[in-house]
Amino acid sequence: DAGVIQSPRHEVTEMGQEVTLRCKPISGHDYLFWYRQTMMRGLELLIYFNNNVPIDDSGMPEDRFSAKMPNASFSTLKIQPSEPRDSAVYFCASSASMRSEAFFGQGTRLTVV
Amino acid sequence: EDKVVQSPLSLVVHEGDTVTLNCSYEVTNFRSLLWYKQEKKAPTFLFMLTSSGIEKKSGRLSSILDKKELSSILNITATQTGDSAIYLCAVEVGSGGGADGLTFGKGTHLIIQP
């Protein structure tokens, strides 16, 4: 398996634009997590899914953020409209269960100017 | 609000030294504590600790959990330049029968000088 795959790797966008980050989890993993990493706040859990259903989205900062998982092999994190303070590295991770190791994707570095 | 605090934030040592990284937490419904190593790319898993006082070991790395002190340490002996990375501590919390996710500390940035 190729591991967790995220795209794009880097994105630079103007303030106000819509941003969509994509994630393909490891096949067979029932849990998918979206994290945001910044220097100031470290690694924060935004939302996670179990069997494609959002379980906890309390980490999503604002209504501008939304996440979907239409099927077991694909998830998106959308920011609309984007703001400069959204600039961060966004990681997607998947795991077979909540008690097993989470495997991280390579991350998407988002810069909003 | 659940909190995970790591110390120090940054550490520079010489190759061959032994280092101890600290992680303390204040959470409700603790389930487990995890250590990750992050180099240039994504975090990679090191250890999961659930029981107090039982050391987990992998090569030159070891870790132990103290539930009474609400803390954990990660030890690295005979450090090598390849150990240079950010070491992340995360606590898994949960209520009822399920887990609610991970709360991460800000990490310790470890630099090993040759």
pLDDT at A66: 96
pLDDT at A69: 96
A47, pLDDT greater than 80: yes
Numbered residues of chain A with Cβ closer than 8 Å to any chain B Cβ: 4, 33, 35, 41-45, 48, 55-56, 59, 91, 93, 98-99, 101-107
- Rounded Cα distance between A103 and A4, Å, is 7
pLDDT range class, residue B97, cuts 50, 70, 90? low
Which residues in chain B have their CB less than 8 angstroms from residue A104's CB? Answer: 42-44
Mean pLDDT of the B98-106 span? 73
pLDDT at A1: 60
B96, pLDDT greater than 60: no
pLDDT range class, residue B103, cuts 50, 70, 90? confident
> How high is the mean pLDDT of chain B?
89
Reported as a single tens digit per residue, the pLDDT across B26-52 is: 988 888 899 999 887 678 889 999 989
For residue A42, give the nearest of B44, B98, B104 by CB distance. Answer: B104
Which residues in chain B have their CB less than 8 angstroms from residue A95's CB? Answer: none
Residue B104 near residue B87, CB atoms below 8 Å? no
| Pairing relationship of beta strands A65-71 and A53-56 according to DSSP bridges | unpaired
Q: In one letter, which amino acid is A7?
A: S
